[in-house]
Structures are given as C-alpha cells and as structure tokens.
Amino acid sequence: MQPDFTTHIQTILADIEAAGLTKRERQITGPQGGRIALAGGRQLVNLCANNYLGLADHPEIIEAASDALQRYGFGMASVRFICGTLDLHRELEQAVARYLGKDDAILFAACFDANGGLFETLLDAEDAIISDSLNHASIIDGVRLSKAKRYRFVTSDMDDLETQLKQAVSDGVRFKLIVTDGVFSMDGHIANLPEICALAERYGAMVAVDDCHATGHLGPQGRGTPALTGVGNRVDIVTGTLGKTLGGAMGGFIAASQPIIDLLRQRARPYLFSNALAPSVAAGSLKAIAIAEAADDRREKLMRHTRKFRAGLIDAGFELLAGETPIIPVMLGEAKLAQDLAAELDKRGLYVAGFFFPVVPKGKARIRTQMSAALEDADIDFAIGAFTEAGKQLGII
Ligand SMILES: *Cc1c(COP(=O)(O)O)cnc(C)c1O
C-alpha cells in the first residue's frame, strides 16, 4: 500500500475516535438469549438483540438445523441456478409466501441483498421510487443502484408523500413504487401503511414494505405490519429477514406476486451472483416460521415486557421516543452520554448499545433497547432499576 494512503486511513480512524464515534465489538461466548455470557464467565441481561421472540436458541430450531446439516452437509458451494437449489430452499420460499399471503418468495443471503436487488431489477429510468427519509441503509443503497427517478418524503409525513407523488406524476413517470420500513429500526415507530396505501391507490403507485423489524412478532400470527394495519392485500412487495425474529441466523427474502418473483429470479444480481443459503440455515428458518406463526404466548410476553419497560423508564424520567413496538429508544443527545450510560449499565449487569452518528443523525444519540420474549418479568424490573440508578448517577434524570 502507498504510505500516504495508509496515513490517510489512519487520520480518518483518529477522527472517528476523537469524535467519540468508534464502535467497539463485544465478544460473547455463548448463545444469543435473554442473558449472554462474556469471556471470564460474566453474565449480562441482554436488551439489544433482534431476538424478539427468543427463537435464536430454540431447541427445535437447533434440532431441525442439525438434522439438515447431517442430511445435506455443510454448504451448497453454488448459486441457486447452477446447482444450489435444494428442495429445502423451495419449501422455505413457499412457507414465507404462505405466511405473508403472497404468491411466491425468493431467498437472498441477507435482506441487505434483497433490498439491493429489488429496485434495479424492477424499475427503470422512466419509473419513480418514493422513499421514506428514515428507510434502512440497504433500501437507500438499493435505490441508488437503480436508474429510477428518486423522490424522498419526510419520514411518515403523509402530506409530503402526497407532494412527492404529485411531483412524480407531473414528471410523467411510468411506474411509481413507494417504499417504507414497516417498523423504523432506530426510532421504533410503525409506518402509516393504511394512509400510504390510500395515497398509492389515489396516485396509481405500488407499495413495498421492508418488514425486518416486524415479521414474526407483530400482527396476527406475526404476519407483520401489513397484517397488523389491515392492508396485507394492498401491499405489493414485502422484503424481510431470517436474521431477526425468525431464528436470527441469516438470510433475506422478497415476497410478492408470481411475475415479480419470477423476474427477480432471472435478474436480481445479489441472487444470481451469490451463494445459496446453507441447508442448516434454511431448515432452521423453516422451523422458526412454523414456531413463530403459533407463538401467541411469546408475542403476548413480548408486548407485556414492552409496556412495562416503557412505563418504567418514563416514570423514572427518561426521554423516550413514542411508540408501541419492542424497540424502545432512550434519547440522550450526544454520543458520549450514550456511551457513558451504556458503560454504567454494563457495570450493573445490563447489556445495551449506544447508537450515534452515522447510524442516527448527529445530536440524536440514543440507547436503543429492545424487548425479547427471552427475558423474564424479573429481568424487566432489574433493567428499570439499573437504568434509574445509572441515570441518576450521570445526572440524566
Ligand atoms: C436488519 C435490517 C435489514 C438487513 O437485514 P439482514 O438480513 O441482516 O441483511 C434490512 N432492512 C431493515 C429495515 C432492517 O432492520
């Protein structure tokens, strides 16, 4: 490497560090769960995994995955269209489609890839994508890869969405696709899908929802935000992940009408040029969907924790973002305060993560807590107590 390039990179790293924005990865030494083990044997109560239903270490999922490992081996060593399609992959795609009420589905290595392949494949320069300003990074990148005209509306602002739709109409575009997260991952609020779908109807647009933070735990049987808000039939495309509620391994998908899925199978670049999902992941995810669909008890526990933890933090005097999902952001402002609070909570046995720029806007640093059905009632009391003590110590409350 050129010496001045190395210096250039080191300068950027030093700037990140000086701004208090360095992200440090913590090593855990056992399974994901309500408690996690650290090297040296310390255990922490865990408030920051996307393990909403607590399925990441579910014994039946582990068994299904390990059976598939024995039967099909470790890996596929091929993309799907060469020799990488197992009966298991098609079973999983059909299970996803049935679960979400769509004709068919297509698997990707991650939802990041699903969103990366969606827009470029379906839309062209004559078309328009109208995207919520808080959409996930993978949507932003996916939109960038397509030639379609781009319109952005202020998050969840339906007047602005209408303005953008009118603009697209007056620009004479051919097809319009509105895209939104179902649940916004950093803020925890749910998209206004009924109004989005009504506007889509009025202006002749299609609707795509990225439901990564909802599939499996929100809505009836966990069918996500379209089902929760009663617009399951109007939403044209759902993208989602196998890496959160549905067992938490990895993998993403798009569910939609048959022609859309058929074209994605022909053209989506992250599908065509990337390896097929490992058999154990496909089998475990299939089992996870079956468990999630029937897991009203886990969903009830998750929402009970959500209500209790929200109320407890508000009573203690913390500033939260309003919402009703299991994502509960505690707003702190500066990155350093979020890091200090996370460190104080760690000392008290609670694992949380501070989020700051570039993951959230500057000055909007926060600790994003997430509830899980893997937590017990006593863990929620413990967590409220730890936040209250640490918050007082740092003068936040
Ligand atoms: C987590 C997430 C993704 C990425 O999912 P992966 O399967 O981990 O790549 C995409 N979109 C949203 C809204 C997410 O929350």
244 is catalytic: yes
- In sign, the C-alpha dihedral spanning 356, 360, 363, 367 is negative
Q: Domain-by-domain residue ranges, the chain?
A: 28-53+296-393, 59-293
* 28-53+296-393 placed in CATH 2.60.40.2470: no
Chain-centre distance of CA 146, in angstroms?
A: 22
Task: Out of 136, 225, 359, give the residue to mutate to test ligand 1, the one with the largest number of ligand atoms within 8 Å of its CB.
Answer: 136
What CATH fold (topology level) applies to the domain 59-293? Aspartate Aminotransferase; domain 2 (3.40.640)
Task: Out of 50, 135, 138, give the residue to mutate to test ligand 1, the one with the largest number of ligand atoms within 8 Å of its CB.
Answer: 138
Q: How many helices (H) and strands (E) does the chain have?
A: 14, 13
- Backbone phi, psi, residue 239, to 5°: -110, 150
Query: Quick check: 69 pLDDT over 70?
Result: yes
Q: Which DSSP letter does residue 46 get?
A: E
23 is catalytic: no
pLDDT in tens, 257-283: 999 999 999 999 999 999 999 999 999
> pTM higher than 0.85, yes or no?
yes
Residue 331's beta-bridge partner residues?
Answer: 366
Site residues for ligand 1, CB cut-off 6 Å: 110-112, 115, 136, 138, 181, 185, 210, 212-213, 241, 243, 252
Q: Are 238 and 102 in contact (CB under 8 A)?
A: yes
What pLDDT was estimated at residue 1? 64
Residue 241 CA to ligand 1 center (angstroms) comes to 6
pLDDT in tens, 76-131: 999 999 999 999 999 999 999 999 999 999 999 999 999 999 999 999 999 999 99
- Backbone phi, psi, residue 368, to 5°: -95, 110
For 311-329, what is the mean pLDDT?
97
Residue 180 CA to ligand 1 center (angstroms) comes to 13
Atom 2 of ligand 1, nearest CA residue = 212
Q: CB-based burial of residue 336 (10 Å sphere; 0-12 exposed, 13-18 middle, 19+ buried)?
A: middle
β-pair type (365-370, 353-355): antiparallel
Residue 359 CA to ligand 1 center (angstroms) comes to 13
Residue 50 CA to ligand 1 center (angstroms) comes to 10
